Protein backbone atom coordinates (compact mmCIF):
# COMPACT_ATOMS: atom_id res chain seq x y z
CA UNK A 1 0.00 0.00 0.00
CA UNK A 2 1.32 3.44 -0.92
CA UNK A 3 0.44 4.87 2.47
CA UNK A 4 2.93 2.45 4.04
CA UNK A 5 5.59 1.96 1.37
CA UNK A 6 5.70 5.56 0.02
CA UNK A 7 7.12 4.00 -3.14
CA UNK A 8 7.28 6.43 -6.06
CA UNK A 9 10.40 5.60 -8.08
CA UNK A 10 8.95 2.77 -10.24
CA UNK A 11 5.94 4.91 -11.17
CA UNK A 12 8.22 7.87 -11.93
CA UNK A 13 10.39 5.76 -14.23
CA UNK A 14 7.28 4.53 -16.05
CA UNK A 15 6.08 8.12 -16.45
CA UNK A 16 9.43 9.12 -17.94
CA UNK A 17 9.47 6.11 -20.27
CA UNK A 18 5.95 6.87 -21.47
CA UNK A 19 6.85 10.54 -21.88
CA UNK A 20 9.86 9.72 -24.05
CA UNK A 21 7.74 7.36 -26.12
CA UNK A 22 5.16 10.13 -26.56
CA UNK A 23 7.90 12.48 -27.71
CA UNK A 24 9.06 9.95 -30.28
CA UNK A 25 5.58 9.15 -31.58
CA UNK A 26 4.54 12.79 -31.90
CA UNK A 27 7.88 14.01 -33.31
CA UNK A 28 6.73 14.50 -36.94
CA UNK A 29 3.55 16.33 -35.94
CA UNK A 30 5.34 18.41 -33.30
CA UNK A 31 8.11 19.34 -35.74
CA UNK A 32 5.58 20.55 -38.31
CA UNK A 33 3.67 22.54 -35.68
CA UNK A 34 6.81 24.24 -34.36
CA UNK A 35 7.95 25.00 -37.91
CA UNK A 36 4.60 26.65 -38.67
CA UNK A 37 4.87 28.79 -35.53
CA UNK A 38 8.46 29.74 -36.33
CA UNK A 39 7.57 30.87 -39.82
CA UNK A 40 4.58 32.88 -38.56
CA UNK A 41 6.45 34.60 -35.73
CA UNK A 42 9.58 35.38 -37.72
CA UNK A 43 7.78 36.48 -40.88
CA UNK A 44 9.41 34.03 -43.21
CA UNK A 45 12.17 32.41 -41.15
CA UNK A 46 15.01 30.68 -42.94
CA UNK A 47 15.34 26.90 -42.99
CA UNK A 48 18.16 27.05 -40.44
CA UNK A 49 16.08 29.22 -38.09
CA UNK A 50 13.19 26.77 -38.33
CA UNK A 51 15.51 23.83 -37.67
CA UNK A 52 16.95 25.58 -34.60
CA UNK A 53 13.46 26.29 -33.28
CA UNK A 54 12.46 22.65 -33.71
CA UNK A 55 15.63 21.40 -32.02
CA UNK A 56 15.27 23.82 -29.11
CA UNK A 57 11.64 22.82 -28.61
CA UNK A 58 12.44 19.12 -28.50
CA UNK A 59 15.28 19.75 -26.04
CA UNK A 60 12.90 21.59 -23.71
CA UNK A 61 10.25 18.88 -24.07
CA UNK A 62 12.82 16.19 -23.24
CA UNK A 63 13.91 18.09 -20.12
CA UNK A 64 10.29 18.51 -19.05
CA UNK A 65 9.71 14.78 -19.50
CA UNK A 66 12.19 14.16 -16.67
CA UNK A 67 11.50 17.23 -14.52
CA UNK A 68 7.75 17.59 -15.07
CA UNK A 69 6.56 14.82 -12.72
CA UNK A 70 8.65 16.27 -9.87
CA UNK A 71 7.55 19.86 -10.43
CA UNK A 72 3.89 19.12 -10.98
CA UNK A 73 3.28 16.44 -8.39
CA UNK A 74 5.48 18.04 -5.74
CA UNK A 75 3.17 21.04 -5.89
CA UNK A 76 0.03 18.90 -5.71
CA UNK A 77 1.56 16.69 -3.02
CA UNK A 78 2.42 19.73 -0.90
CA UNK A 79 -1.15 21.00 -1.24
CA UNK A 80 -2.64 17.66 -0.24
CA UNK A 81 -0.24 17.42 2.69
CA UNK A 82 -1.19 20.88 3.95
CA UNK A 83 -4.91 20.09 3.76
CA UNK A 84 -4.43 16.73 5.50
CA UNK A 85 -2.37 18.29 8.30
CA UNK A 86 -5.04 20.93 8.82
CA UNK A 87 -7.91 18.43 8.77
CA UNK A 88 -6.24 15.85 10.98
CA UNK A 89 -4.94 18.53 13.32
CA UNK A 90 -8.48 19.71 13.91
CA UNK A 91 -9.34 16.15 14.93
CA UNK A 92 -6.35 15.90 17.23
CA UNK A 93 -4.44 13.30 15.18
CA UNK A 94 -1.31 13.33 13.07
CA UNK A 95 -1.41 13.28 9.25
CA UNK A 96 1.02 11.43 6.96
CA UNK A 97 3.93 13.45 5.58
CA UNK A 98 4.69 14.90 2.17
CA UNK A 99 6.49 11.80 0.88
CA UNK A 100 3.32 9.73 1.26
CA UNK A 101 1.15 12.11 -0.75
CA UNK A 102 3.86 12.68 -3.34
CA UNK A 103 4.05 8.92 -3.90
CA UNK A 104 0.26 8.80 -4.16
CA UNK A 105 0.26 11.54 -6.81
CA UNK A 106 3.01 9.93 -8.90
CA UNK A 107 1.30 6.55 -8.91
CA UNK A 108 -2.15 7.95 -9.67
CA UNK A 109 -0.73 9.90 -12.62
CA UNK A 110 -0.11 6.71 -14.59
CA UNK A 111 -3.60 6.33 -16.16
CA UNK A 112 -3.52 9.95 -17.37
CA UNK A 113 -0.10 9.38 -18.89
CA UNK A 114 -1.37 6.29 -20.69
CA UNK A 115 -4.08 8.51 -22.13
CA UNK A 116 -1.45 10.96 -23.31
CA UNK A 117 0.39 8.10 -24.97
CA UNK A 118 -2.78 7.17 -26.85
CA UNK A 119 -3.22 10.77 -28.04
CA UNK A 120 0.35 11.20 -29.19
CA UNK A 121 0.38 7.75 -30.73
CA UNK A 122 -2.66 8.76 -32.78
CA UNK A 123 -0.74 11.71 -34.25
CA UNK A 124 1.60 9.20 -35.83
CA UNK A 125 -1.31 7.85 -37.88
CA UNK A 126 -2.04 11.26 -39.43
CA UNK A 127 -0.23 13.39 -41.96
CA UNK A 128 2.17 15.60 -39.92
CA UNK A 129 1.30 18.56 -42.18
CA UNK A 130 -2.24 18.60 -40.74
CA UNK A 131 -0.96 19.63 -37.29
CA UNK A 132 -0.81 23.40 -37.51
CA UNK A 133 -2.41 24.49 -34.22
CA UNK A 134 -2.80 23.14 -30.65
CA UNK A 135 -6.39 22.17 -31.44
CA UNK A 136 -5.17 19.66 -34.01
CA UNK A 137 -3.47 17.77 -31.17
CA UNK A 138 -6.25 18.16 -28.61
CA UNK A 139 -8.93 16.74 -30.92
CA UNK A 140 -6.98 13.91 -32.52
CA UNK A 141 -8.97 11.36 -30.47
CA UNK A 142 -12.58 11.66 -29.19
CA UNK A 143 -11.67 10.78 -25.60
CA UNK A 144 -12.34 14.15 -23.95
CA UNK A 145 -14.93 16.89 -23.63
CA UNK A 146 -13.24 18.63 -26.57
CA UNK A 147 -15.58 16.65 -28.82
CA UNK A 148 -18.35 18.99 -27.63
CA UNK A 149 -16.60 21.99 -29.22
CA UNK A 150 -14.60 20.64 -32.19
CA UNK A 151 -14.32 24.10 -33.75
CA UNK A 152 -13.86 26.10 -30.54
CA UNK A 153 -11.07 28.53 -29.77
CA UNK A 154 -7.66 27.32 -28.58
CA UNK A 155 -8.36 28.17 -24.90
CA UNK A 156 -11.73 26.42 -25.02
CA UNK A 157 -10.35 23.27 -26.59
CA UNK A 158 -7.33 23.28 -24.27
CA UNK A 159 -9.59 23.40 -21.22
CA UNK A 160 -12.09 20.82 -22.46
CA UNK A 161 -9.43 18.41 -23.70
CA UNK A 162 -8.01 18.10 -20.19
CA UNK A 163 -11.21 16.41 -19.05
CA UNK A 164 -10.73 13.06 -20.72
CA UNK A 165 -11.44 9.48 -19.76
CA UNK A 166 -7.91 8.71 -18.59
CA UNK A 167 -7.45 11.96 -16.69
CA UNK A 168 -10.73 11.42 -14.83
CA UNK A 169 -9.53 7.91 -14.01
CA UNK A 170 -6.39 9.38 -12.44
CA UNK A 171 -8.33 12.02 -10.52
CA UNK A 172 -10.77 9.47 -9.10
CA UNK A 173 -7.89 7.23 -8.02
CA UNK A 174 -6.20 10.21 -6.41
CA UNK A 175 -9.38 11.21 -4.58
CA UNK A 176 -10.04 7.70 -3.31
CA UNK A 177 -6.43 7.21 -2.26
CA UNK A 178 -6.36 10.56 -0.53
CA UNK A 179 -9.54 9.81 1.40
CA UNK A 180 -8.06 6.51 2.57
CA UNK A 181 -4.62 7.79 3.53
CA UNK A 182 -5.72 11.11 5.04
CA UNK A 183 -8.69 9.40 6.72
CA UNK A 184 -11.24 11.94 5.53
CA UNK A 185 -14.60 11.44 3.88
CA UNK A 186 -14.64 10.49 0.22
CA UNK A 187 -16.78 13.36 -1.08
CA UNK A 188 -14.58 16.15 0.34
CA UNK A 189 -11.51 14.31 -0.97
CA UNK A 190 -12.98 14.06 -4.46
CA UNK A 191 -13.99 17.73 -4.40
CA UNK A 192 -10.46 18.72 -3.41
CA UNK A 193 -8.99 16.64 -6.21
CA UNK A 194 -11.52 18.13 -8.62
CA UNK A 195 -10.17 21.54 -7.65
CA UNK A 196 -6.65 20.30 -8.37
CA UNK A 197 -7.81 19.09 -11.77
CA UNK A 198 -9.40 22.45 -12.49
CA UNK A 199 -6.11 24.20 -11.68
CA UNK A 200 -4.20 21.85 -13.99
CA UNK A 201 -6.75 22.40 -16.76
CA UNK A 202 -6.29 26.17 -16.46
CA UNK A 203 -2.53 25.67 -16.55
CA UNK A 204 -2.97 23.76 -19.80
CA UNK A 205 -5.00 26.68 -21.18
CA UNK A 206 -2.21 29.09 -20.28
CA UNK A 207 0.39 26.88 -21.94
CA UNK A 208 -1.62 26.60 -25.14
CA UNK A 209 -1.80 30.34 -25.78
Please, what is the average pLDDT of the chain?
90
DSSP, residue by residue, 93-148: -PPP-HHHHHHHHHHHTHHHHHHHHHHHHHHTTS-GGG--SHHHHHTSSS-BGGGG
Distances (CA, A) of 166 to 83, 102, 162, 189, 191: 25, 20, 10, 19, 18
Length of the chain equals 209
pLDDT, tens digit (0-9, with 9 covering 90-100), for 17-70: 999 999 999 999 999 999 888 887 756 667 787 888 889 999 999 999 999 999
Total-model pTM: 0.90
Q: Is the pLDDT of residue 203 over 70?
A: yes
pLDDT tens-digit series, residues 90-148: 666 777 889 999 999 999 999 999 999 999 999 999 999 999 989 999 999 999 999 88
- pLDDT confidence bin for 88, thresholds 50/70/90: confident
- pLDDT for 77 beyond 60: yes
At residue 45, the pLDDT reads 66
Amino acid sequence: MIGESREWLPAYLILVLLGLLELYLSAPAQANFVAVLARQSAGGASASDVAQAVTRTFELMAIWTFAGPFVLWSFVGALLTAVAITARGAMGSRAPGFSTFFALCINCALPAEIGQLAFYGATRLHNPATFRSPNDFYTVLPFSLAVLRPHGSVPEIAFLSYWGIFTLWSLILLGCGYATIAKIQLVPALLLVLGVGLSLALTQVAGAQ
